[in-house]
């Protein structure tokens, strides 16, 4: 598994910890960079000291975020030539069709609803991580 970065964009500390625990449990050892709101995520991806897009394995993006919501983060990433190809997986508790439709319209690569049960949550995170870090072939940098 390449050592590409996982950018976790999640404002809920409990959900952040569950996701990080799931990565550890399933030995997904890639570095995880955490952004606690949409503005911080945009800064890490598009700001003056942004990560190289080729170093990002994928972005795990919540929708309900302070400062800049997840859909707006996605909109800006896709509108920027430098970041438009970074894989983005929406991981949200939203079950609203409008969020699902808008996420895909804006170019998300995947939309995953957060399961309530920890084992199911952990398994969903494992599958997302393994797919985007091992199975998926990223575009050349």
Work out how many domains the chain is built from and give that number. Answer: 1
What angle is formed at CA 113 by the lines to CA 62 and CA 140, rounded to 5 degrees? Answer: 65
Identify whether 130 is part of a domain.
yes
Identify whether 91 is part of a domain.
yes
- Residue listed under structure tokens 């991806």: 45
Identify whether 139 is part of a domain.
no
Q: Could you list the pLDDT tens digit for every one of the 141 residues in the chain?
A: 468 999 999 999 999 999 999 999 888 889 999 999 999 999 999 999 999 999 999 999 999 999 999 999 999 999 999 999 999 999 998 889 999 999 999 999 999 998 888 889 889 998 999 899 889 888 876
Let me know if 103 is exposed, middle or buried by CB neighbors in 10 A (0-12, 13-18, 19+). Answer: buried
Q: Cα–Cα distance between 43 and 114 in angstroms, integer?
A: 25
| Burial readout 24-35 (b: 16 or more C-beta within 10 A, e: otherwise) | eeeebebebbbb
Identify whether 32 is part of a domain.
yes
Write the CATH number for 104. 3.40.50.2300
Identify whether 140 is part of a domain.
no
pTM passes above 0.75: yes
| Cβ-proximal residues to 136 (8 Å cutoff; 6+ apart), any chain | 87
The answer to whether 5 and 51 have CB atoms below 8 angstroms apart is yes
- Residue listed under structure tokens 């942004």: 50
Identify whether 141 is part of a domain.
no
Identify whether 20 is part of a domain.
yes
Domain span at residue 118? 5-134
Give 28-64 pLDDT, tens digit per residue.
889 999 999 999 999 999 999 999 999 999 999 999 9
């Amino acid at each position: 598994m390449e050592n590409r970065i996982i950018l976790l964009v999640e404002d809920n500390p409990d959900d952040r910890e569950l996701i990080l625990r799931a990565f550890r449990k399933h030995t997904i050892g890639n570095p995880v960079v955490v952004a606690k709101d949409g503005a911080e995520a945009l800064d890490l991806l598009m700001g003056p000291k942004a990560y190289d897009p080729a170093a990002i394995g994928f972005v795990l993006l919540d929708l309900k975020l302070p400062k800049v919501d997840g859909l707006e983060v996605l909109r800006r990433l896709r509108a920027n030539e430098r970041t438009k190809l970074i894989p983005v997986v929406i991981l949200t508790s939203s079950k609203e069709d409008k969020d699902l439709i808008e996420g895909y319209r804006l170019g998300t690569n995947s939309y995953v609803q957060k399961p309530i049960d920890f084992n199911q949550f952990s398994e969903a995170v494992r599958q997302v991580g393994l797919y985007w870090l091992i199975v998926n072939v990223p575009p050349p940098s």
